[in-house]
Structure 1
Amino acid sequence: MLLSLIGIIALLLHVIGMLAAMHAVMNTRTPQGAFAWVLGLALLPYFTLLPYLFLGRSRFHGYVDLHQARRRQLRSIIAKEHAATDPLLPALARYTAIASMADARFHQGQRLRLLIDGEATFDAIFAAIAEARQCVLMQFFIFHDDQLGRRMQQALLERAAAGVEVYVLYDGIGSHALPKHYVETLRAGGVAIHPFATQQRSNRFQLNFRNHRKIVVIDGWRGFVGGLNVGDEYLGLKPPLAPWRDTHMELQGPAVADLQRSFAEDWHWVTDALPPLLPTRTGDGGASTLIAATGPADAQESCSLLFVSLIHAAQQRLWLTTPYFVPDQAVMSALRLAVFRGVDVRILIPSRPDHYTVFLASGLYAHDAVCAGIRMFRYRPGFVHQKVLLVDHDTTSIGSMNLDSRSFRLNFEITALNVDEDFATEVEAMLEHDFAQTDELNEDSYRKASYLKRLAMHVARLFDPVL
């Protein structure tokens, strides 16, 4: 009797596994990801059905429909205040494909400020919040109820008490450890705060899509974007990853309208309402900036294509730093071609893991890159989390985008693409200081590793569609 029951359950699981495999074939974005899911679901449904419930979907229709309908409407609302009158400068022409893909444009006259590491970043953000008079928009992947998180909570409560409208979004998965009383305290103090969810009806089985964006907009004209979240580890206060190496930036000028627009799209999805869309101020700086917001609702894999386009634009230099080096085939091919063009390609990655599976996969991809002539460096002092790219003498990208499948296809991301020689010189000096504290990899770095470690690297790479 017991054996018969076990047999029936096993048969049922295999039938469900086959149905799930059919769903994976029809809905997984990449052939590699589809093949991995189909193999597991068809042969080992006992182990793969539950993970597929949480991680299997690579797209969703509700947000896609709203995203496409609202994007033009929001752009139209903001465009009434800011007509696109800037002529296209010759230096920007090589990025027209990015502008078209992202449905965005370069804004001229931006004043930019490079913020290196957590202390500089949050000092600038707290100072800007204290000066807010109308509205604060804030979005982070992670909020922690720790020293920095409580300081942020108090700053937002003070502005709300002063009559400033405060709107906060956090990712429900990234901030899974955030206690309810943290959110309830903010709401009781007049702060509008919500978790981002990819379905308007709660779906506890959906963990795949995460809003990884980090955005702060003050009074419609002062914005921040970059790699840091709200937690003590981002100040380098939590060993063993300390010191924490990260980069943010501040921008003032009309490009902040596009940071505001990105926040408004996400806020509307969650609440069916719009936050204030305040006019920006005319910029008095010398930079041109394009805000590129990407995500799984896009018709194309826009994050991956953005990296490919930037790599192809490089003629002399491409310096890149990322915590997770798990490139897809298109990005890896673009990097190889850049080497053949004679471009100085350097990539900075961590020497310490925060996610060990990703770290192992990154090690194997780093070996492949070294064999292709790409210079790879591991940062010694602590964990490097910054997402920075430097192209030639004038172009920088600072934002939330990692070089991995999750950012390419599953996460909502954002970056500021800046064309300005002076700002690029600052970023160059910052990265030169970082590269001076690294160990350069060579082919022996992989070959001298133990067999078991090399095997673990290859096994880890099998999971790169969901890393």
Structure 2
Amino acid sequence: MTLAQLLALLAFMLHVAGILAAMHAVMNTRTPQGAFAWALGLSLLPYVTLLPYLYLGRSHFQGYVTLHRVHRQRFSQALQRGEHVDAPPSCIRYTALMQMMHGTFHPGQQLKLLVDGEAAFEAIFQAIARAEHCILVQFFIFHADGLGHRMQQALLERAAAGVRVFVLFDGIGSHALPRHYVETLRQGGVAIQPFATQRRPHRFQLNFRNHRKIVVVDGCQGFVGGLNVGDEYLGLKPPLSPWRDTHLQLAGPAVDDLQRSFAVDWHWVTGELPPMLPPRPAQGGAHTLIAVTGPADLQETCSLFFTVAINAARKRLWLSTPYFVPDQAVMTALRLAVMRGVDVRVLLPSRPDHHTVFLASSLHARDAIEAGVRMYRYRPGFMHQKVILIDDDAACVSSMNLDNRSFRLNFEIGALSVDQAFARDVEQMLQEDFSKSTEITREEYRKATYPRKLAMHVARLFDPIL
């Protein structure tokens, strides 16, 4: 066989493989837009798209889906058997979320807004130091840097004191974490595992990452938000510093839902359940719903979460997100909110950490401005916080980005709280952020060079995987 014949055969086989992969994409991709994009690329350009599809287009985690739904059904039944608490009138507008999450707004929550990385990790380390029974820790990213080693030592000290410590990290998000970091924790008595949607390693699976950030101490103190374990989250790594992020500390019955989310993921990875300690009653005035979302859900829960939250606003909707790549449902909800007379504002970063997402976000920002949404760019450093303020009485702190990856590809978690005092704290924080921001106008797009405009439109073609 000549070289030309060999190359022709190889090209033919690639096209056959591309067509087979396109058929798989049509049958399995979650959105029509994504299915069309993959099918077109795989059919016409398999040389370029086949390898990326192996990493980004497959969704082999049916075992996790089954286990996840079994656990959710059990927890829902347990909740129904427990003491029933009627939601106050201010929570009724979120009834769809309660039904979708199979959860409720827990009363009596004590909330503390942790407005940056320094405040968040100081509170987390203080809680860990006081742990007596059990610590659950889950982050998307662990780095073996200054903050990472501080976390390592804090967990080792409590394990040495007889506290049971469980740690989950995402296998892709923490791909740079050295093996010796994990082994040091294991040798010190810490149970630590990487999360993956398949128990057997699968190097072709990059999607469906566990983006949740959870810390629970003794079943009574919980933390959730946007921060990971790394020096950049303390603003110690230019050029993105100072890093802008937010976390939430809570005490009360809602902490039990944080434990349950961790337990489902831990059981999938290990086949075992961590201790489930009863939460202590709290004396706060907030009602809190823990929203646990992900691609294993029957519905597209993260996208629907944003849609319901936006539709609930009557006076004000302020959002902060590092990535603004809304799907059609969320963008429609934003437009309708503007038409209702709601003060809709979105806070974005002025510096990119992912250039493709930044370009796509810039084009979506232009569309939002045309719809009457006020868009801002945070000037001092990278803005990574995921916060929603709704009217004068509700706010959410979460790990959820406003993009397709969070909507359909990542496992996320957030805490939506109804409480006027907490909403005032969030309002004050966001007002400070807006004061350090520049409002985006139509001129940003108009004054962009043609190559940059073209790059924005090309970047938006990749919305399904951004």
TM-score band (shorter)?
over 0.9
Provide structure 1 residue ranges, at least 5 long, that are not aligned to the other structure.
none
Q: Does 1:283 align with 2:285?
A: no
What secondary structure sits across from 2:135 in the alignment?
strand
Following superposition, the deviation at residue 76 of structure 1 comes to: 4.8
Q: Residues 379-390 of structure 1: matches in 2 within 5 Å?
A: 379-390=378-389
* Equivalent residue letter for 2:53: Y
Following superposition, the deviation at residue 88 of structure 1 comes to: 1.7
Distance 2:173 2:404 in 1: 17
Q: Residues 17-416 of structure 1: matches in 2 within 5 Å?
A: 17-58=18-59, 60-76=61-77, 83-416=82-415
* Equivalent residue letter for 2:115: I
Following superposition, the deviation at residue 138 of structure 1 comes to: 0.4
Provide structure 2 residue ranges, at least 5 long, that are not aligned to the other structure.
none
* Equivalent residue letter for 1:271: T
What secondary structure sits across from 2:202 in the alignment?
coil
Cα separation, partners in 2 of 1:37 and 1:398, compared to 1, 3 Å: same
* Equivalent residue letter for 1:53: L
Is the 1:213–1:413 Cα contact (8 Å) retained in structure 2?
A: yes
> What do residues 36-78 of structure 1 show as CA deviations (whole Å, max 9, x unaligned)?
1011100110111100000002563111111111222245567
Following superposition, the deviation at residue 79 of structure 1 comes to: 7.1
> What do residues 290-345 of structure 1 show as CA deviations (whole Å, max 9, x unaligned)?
00100000001000000000000000000000000000000000000000000000
What secondary structure sits across from 1:210 in the alignment?
coil
Cα separation, partners in 2 of 1:464 and 1:353, compared to 1, 3 Å: same
Following superposition, the deviation at residue 443 of structure 1 comes to: 0.9
Is the 1:323–1:387 Cα contact (8 Å) retained in structure 2?
A: yes
Is the 1:58–1:296 Cα contact (8 Å) retained in structure 2?
A: no
What secondary structure sits across from 2:411 in the alignment?
strand
Distance 1:14 1:64 in 2: 32
The residue number in structure 1 matching 2:424 is: 425
* Equivalent residue letter for 2:181: Y
Following superposition, the deviation at residue 445 of structure 1 comes to: 1.0
Moved over 3 A (4+): 74-80
Distance 1:367 1:73 in 2: 45
What secondary structure sits across from 2:267 in the alignment?
helix
Distance 1:220 1:44 in 2: 52
Q: Does 1:434 align with 2:461?
A: no
Distance 2:439 2:47 in 1: 43
Name the TM-score, length of structure 1 as normaliser: 0.98
Distance 2:252 2:393 in 1: 19
Is the 1:75–1:261 Cα contact (8 Å) retained in structure 2?
A: no
Distance 1:395 1:299 in 2: 26
Following superposition, the deviation at residue 283 of structure 1 comes to: 1.6
Name the TM-score, length of structure 2 as normaliser: 0.99
What secondary structure sits across from 1:384 in the alignment?
coil
Is the 2:134–2:275 Cα contact (8 Å) retained in structure 1?
A: yes
Is the 1:245–1:383 Cα contact (8 Å) retained in structure 2?
A: yes
* Equivalent residue letter for 1:119: E
What secondary structure sits across from 2:27 in the alignment?
helix
Is the 2:79–2:103 Cα contact (8 Å) retained in structure 1?
A: no
Distance 1:79 1:267 in 2: 24
Q: Does 1:14 align with 2:15?
A: yes
Is the 1:78–1:277 Cα contact (8 Å) retained in structure 2?
A: no
Distance 1:336 1:357 in 2: 25
Following superposition, the deviation at residue 201 of structure 1 comes to: 1.6
- The percentage of counterpart residues that share the same residue type is 69
Is the 1:58–1:409 Cα contact (8 Å) retained in structure 2?
A: no
Q: Does 1:3 align with 2:7?
A: no
C-alpha RMSD over aligned residues:
1.0
